[in-house]
Amino acid sequence: MVTKMVRKLSERTNLGLLAVTVGLFTAMSIAYSHFFTLYNMEVIAMGFVQEAIMALGMTIVIISGGIDLSIGSVLVLSSILVGIFLKADLGVALSIFLTLCISGSIGFANAVMINRLRAHPFIVTLGTMTAVRGFALVITEGHPVTGFPKSFSYFGQGYLFNIPFPVVLFIILAIGFHILLRHTKYFSQVYFIGSNPGAARLCGMNVERFRWMTYIISATLAGTAGIITASQYISANASFGIDAELRVITAVIIGGASLSGGIGSIGRTVLGVIFLAIVANAMVQAGVPTYWDKVAYGSMLVISVVLEQYFRFRRTGIKDNWRDFMLGGN
Give the CATH number for residue 260: 1.10.3470
Q: How many CB atoms lie within 10 A of CB 146?
A: 12
* SS3 at position 74: helix
Sign of CA dihedral 251, 256, 259, 261: negative
Between vectors from CA 30 to CA 28 and to CA 35, what angle results, nearest 5°? 50
**Total number of domains in the chain:** 1
Grouped pLDDT means (10 residues each) for the chain, 330 residues: 48 71 88 86 90 96 95 96 93 96 97 92 95 94 88 92 94 96 89 89 88 96 96 90 90 89 91 92 87 85 79 59 54
Say if CB 76 and CB 136 are below 8 A apart.
Answer: yes
Q: What is the structure's pLDDT at 328?
A: 57
Q: Which domain range does residue 197 map to?
A: 2-326
Q: What is the structure's pLDDT at 227?
A: 96
Q: Kindly report the pTM of this predicted structure.
A: 0.89
DSSP assignments along 284-306, one per residue: HHTT--GGGHHHHHHHHHHHHHH
